């Protein structure tokens, strides 16, 4: 996300929903469409079926724009302590909600 902030050259504020509060998260209503497919007995036979299901998701009449990424990401990558400190120096935590409200600042 820090690299994304640098790319866009604008700060980004991350607001997280507390765990187990999916009813307040609008994306959860959208994902419910996939549940309907699975609960209806549909099988995940291939990627095209899954993309088709995802394209049927909507929230208040808005539908997603989908693209399938076939990128294979490396696992087990971690930052050095020095690099992590540089990232953390750009994070501004809201003192009232430090786990749920984080502003990523520009350099």
Model confidence over 33-59: pLDDT tens digits? 777 877 877 777 888 888 888 888 887
Residue 19 forms part of a structural domain: no
Domain total of the chain:
1
CB count within 10 Å of CB 57 equals: 19
Domain annotation covers residue 8: yes
**Is 33 domain-assigned?**
yes
Is residue 7 a part of any domain in this protein? yes
Domain span holding position 6? 2-14+26-104
Residue pLDDT, tens place only, 54-80? 888 887 888 888 888 899 988 988 999
Q: Is residue 21 part of a domain?
A: no
DSSP codes joined into one string, the chain = -HHHHHHHTS-EEEEPPPTT-GGG-HHHHHHHHHHHHHHTT-----HHHHHHHHHT--BTTB--------PPPPSS----HHHHHHHHTTEEE-SSSTTTEEEE---
């Amino acid at each position: 996300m820090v690299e994304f902030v640098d790319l866009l050259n604008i700060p980004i504020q991350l607001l997280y929903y507390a765990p187990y509060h999916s009813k307040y998260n609008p994306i959860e209503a959208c994902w419910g469409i996939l549940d309907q497919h699975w609960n209806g007995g549909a099988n995940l036979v291939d990627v095209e079926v899954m993309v088709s299901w995802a394209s049927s998701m909507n929230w208040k009449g808005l539908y997603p724009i989908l693209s399938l990424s076939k990128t294979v990401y490396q696992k087990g990558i971690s930052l050095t302590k020095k690099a992590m400190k540089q990232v953390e120096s750009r994070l501004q935590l809201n003192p009232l909600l430090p786990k749920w409200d984080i502003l990523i600042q520009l350099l």
